[in-house]
Amino acid sequence: MRKSVRSRGGIGAAALAGLCLTALSASAQDKPITTSRDNGDTVKVTVSGDVVLDYVWRGREVSEFVNPGGFGAGAATHNINDFEGYAAIRLNADLSDKVSAVVEMGTKRVDGGGILNWGNAAANGILLREGQVNLSDFLINDLKAQIGITTWSFDVRGKGESMAFDLRHSQQITQNMTLGGTTGLTTREGNGALGARAGTKDELEPVGLVLTYSRDALKVDAVILPAIVEGGFTASDEALYAVDFMYTLDAVGKGSHLGAIIAAHQFVSPLAGPGGELMWTIGGGGDFWLMDRALEVYAEAYGQFGTVAKPAAGPSIKAGGTAFQLGADYHLPNNANNLWAGINYTYYSGDNDQNAGNTTMDRFCAYSNMHDLMILEDMYTGFDWKSNYWALKIDGGLALSLGSGKNNLELSAIFGFARTQSTDTFTPAGALATTVNTHKLGDEIDLKARWLLNKQASINVGVGFLFSSDILKYSMLTNGDNRDKTGSEMYTIGLDVRF
């Protein structure tokens, strides 16, 4: 079992709720939070928090793999509906204009490989979600240091959907190295792959140092994270060391920018070897706002090289994964309802060469947080399929006015045509024991609505339909569920409050 920086103390959800009420009461009376008289240099303490509560109804076919706990072969005979989310309190203490500290405590939505449903004992534990010290003008002007559990990510579009580097909303980098059988120590999808991927839910707490230099249009990060997962000896740790930059191009269009990154990954390979394998990821992209911000065009690409595994005998297994996306969003100018439409192509490589002598793992593995599609892509609600994958996605939306609000009801829809990049091979059990090869991950339609009660609270509704998924069908057959189903559905309604 892996070790990570977590607190499993005896504080319960009731204590967290009490702390929330205390903080809100103090805020309503406009009274400052005081600290010990021995800590007179504390300038200001700010309290904030989040409460996210979602009701999620998953069709039986989705539940069979997203919630594998308690399901044996053929035992998934019902849908699952439950409450999911988290509650957190965040303290931000300014000790001076150059020194601040952040501590966030609360529950987690996913942890340790599973979904933590509200009301279950496992979901009520209070964990250390974030803890860091921030130093401005560290050593030199314009240099910031963040020490502790970092919030760093590399997000080219800046919309919370990093294609390769969002450790706080991802599992270990080895997650996509362990699926299916191994031939020549490379990986591919196969029997049980959907359950292995969709049934592992987790969030990392990367610990280390991030140095950020910002001046004018340039921002550069130096990332030193030796304890993404702490395994004791250095060779047993999962670590990341990276340098990235973002350069603003307001001359092209306000908000436009270019970015690039090079990162070294250290991990314990699930394929073979003593640990301490070293793989590299290099890539970047750009986000360009044109036509007076009516048109957004974006693209990014990544490649991987280095060592994935070190067998006791024979050559090392090398990395060769690639990933890219490109797309555009168009916002109709001078439109009272903020009408927009977009198109996106997303690609993560898989393994095509399954010859016994193959020494390259072509599957792309990273800390991705793409979640456009509720069932196929989203880690919290769906299958979290982000390797050996390509998808063409078309989406759009608009905003309407509800009650006395102005454009406070946001409506959107998305269609995704998804396939695996390399062939998936299944051998169903029993009378259907015939080997099947397929690429058909499925097609998905999602409809979403977001009602903004105010700037800090919203009600969210989502409906997702998956169909034409041979991979879902044959995953069910190999799991002992003999129904001939290629689709399923999901419904969500939730409340997000931030204070």
Query: What are the boundaries of each domain within the chain?
Result: 13-498
Exposed/middle/buried for residue 308 (C-beta within 10 Å: 0-12, 13-18, 19+): buried
What is the C-alpha separation between 64 and 483, in angstroms, rounded?
12
pLDDT at 476: 85
Integer Cα distance of 38 and 49 in angstroms: 27
pTM: 0.88
Contacts of 120 (CB under 8 A, 6+ apart): none
Burial class from Cβ neighbours inside 10 Å (0-12, 13-18, 19+) for residue 238 reads buried
Q: What is the pLDDT along the chain (499 residues), one digit of tens a residue?
A: 343 333 333 345 444 444 444 444 444 444 456 666 677 667 888 999 999 999 999 998 898 888 755 444 444 556 778 899 999 999 999 988 899 999 999 999 988 788 888 877 767 788 899 999 999 999 999 999 999 999 999 999 999 999 999 999 999 998 888 665 554 555 667 776 787 778 788 899 999 999 999 999 999 999 999 999 876 666 668 999 999 999 999 999 999 999 999 999 999 888 777 777 899 999 999 999 999 999 999 999 999 999 988 887 778 888 999 999 999 999 999 999 999 999 999 999 988 776 767 788 889 999 999 999 999 999 999 999 999 999 999 999 999 999 888 999 999 999 999 999 988 888 776 545 678 888 999 999 999 999 999 999 999 999 999 999 999 998 888 877 777 789 999 999 999 999 9
CB atoms within 10 A of CB 318: 16
Reduced to 3 states, what is the DSSP secondary structure of residue 84? Answer: strand
Cα–Cα distance between 209 and 361 in angstroms, integer?
30
Q: Would you say domain 13-498 falls under CATH 3.40.47.10?
A: no
Length of the chain: 499
* Phi, then psi, of 164 in degrees rounded to 5: -140, -15
Alpha-carbon torsion (54, 57, 62, 68), positive or negative: positive
Please give the pLDDT value at position 77.
53
Name the amino acid, one letter, at 356. A
Whole-angstrom Cα distance, residue 311 to residue 326?
37
Residue-level pLDDT at 478? 80
Nearest to 307 by CA among 164, 389, 422, 185: 185
Residue 361: its pLDDT value, please?
Answer: 87
Helical spans, DSSP H, in 56-158: 60-66
CA 421 to chain centre: 21
Residue 214: phi and psi, rounded to 5, are -125, 125
Which residues lie closer than 8 Å to 178 by C-beta, 6 or more apart? 187, 196, 270
Looking at residue 34, what is its pLDDT? 67
Residue appearing with tokens 């041979």: 470
**What distance in Å separates the CA atoms of residue 86 and residue 249, rounded to the nearest whole number?**
37
At residue 72, the pLDDT reads: 41
DSSP 61: H
Of 351, 283, 367, residue with least CA distance to 319: 351
Task: Give the pLDDT score at 85.
Answer: 93
- Distance from C-alpha of 103 to C-alpha of 292, rounded to nearest angstrom: 40
CA dist., res. 407 & res. 476, Å (int): 43
User: Which residues have C-beta within 8 Å of that of residue 112, sequence separation ≥ 6?
Assistant: 202
Beta-ladder partners of 224: 209, 241
Close Cβ partners of 326 (under 8 Å, ≥ 6 residues apart): 298, 299, 300, 344, 345
Tell me which residue has tokens 């060391």: 241
User: Strand pairing of 99-106 and 127-135?
Assistant: antiparallel
Dist CA 168 CA 160 (whole Å): 11
Say how far residue 478 (Cα) sits from the centre of its chain: 28
Q: In 185-324, which residue ranges form alpha helices assigned H by DSSP? A: 193-198
Q: How far is CA 428 from CA 59, 191, 432, in A?
A: 22, 8, 6
